[in-house]
Amino acid sequence: MSATALVVIDMQRDFCSPGGYADSAGMDVQRLREPIANIQRLLQAARSAGLLVVHTREGHLPDLSDCPPAKLARSVAAGAPIGSQGPLGRLLVRGEQGHDFVDALRPGAGEFVIDKPGYGAFHHTRLAQVLAAHDVERLILCGVTTEVCVHSTLREAVDRGFACTTVGDATAASDPALQAPALAMIGVEGGIFGRVRSTAELVAELVPPPDGVAGQLTTWGQAFSGA
């Protein structure tokens, strides 16, 4: 377990609360809030198991100097220009109310917060250094959105040699029609991007079994290899 980290991706007000970026772009924020309860369960299990926990936030510097022109133009086309004023402050700008985490999923003491300017959590961040310093080899991924930031981080992680598990019911897509295909992509070619599991399955792997039934649950290594 010391080689495993839980990565909670972008559970911010800008994506999960009325008045934030996603809401301004016409997304269903209620749908994007649906994973919160399952992510709470994952956090509780990860903390009990002593896993490294990382929370990511997408957002930009106040002067938008780290926001590529193409990304800014895309946000304008979506109807939610990055940096424009909204009910929760400037959209996707660090330090604004919308940039912060939803109250139900605030980081605990000793947990890492990675602020990222892009969709993937490794791009222009210290995530790789944090994971290397803790000898992490396996990642559990959850959060929003499945088809963008979760997938971007997953693909970056796989290219860096991490064995990954995506928790399907602890993620949500901006469009419900994209959720199943985004998860299905992970398992092609024998699990090219790792494996997909449910919250219940992950909690069963992470939480120690009661005394006397240790043999009834697979070890993390067995579960990961498909044994």
Q: Which of 10, 14, 115, 169 is catalytic?
A: 10
Active site residue 116: yes
Count of beta carbons in the 10 Å neighbourhood of residue 176: 10
5 closest CA partner among 137, 199, 157, 198: 137
Distances, alpha carbon 11 to alpha carbons 63, 116, 210, in Å: 23, 13, 32
Q: Which of 67, 142, 149, 164 is catalytic?
A: 149
Active site residue 164: no
157 closest CA partner among 123, 182, 134, 183: 123
Q: Which of 14, 67, 116, 142 is catalytic?
A: 116
Active site residue 149: yes
Count of beta carbons in the 10 Å neighbourhood of residue 208: 10
Q: Give the integer Cα–Cα distance in Å for 173 and 205.
A: 25
The catalytic residues are 10, 116, 149
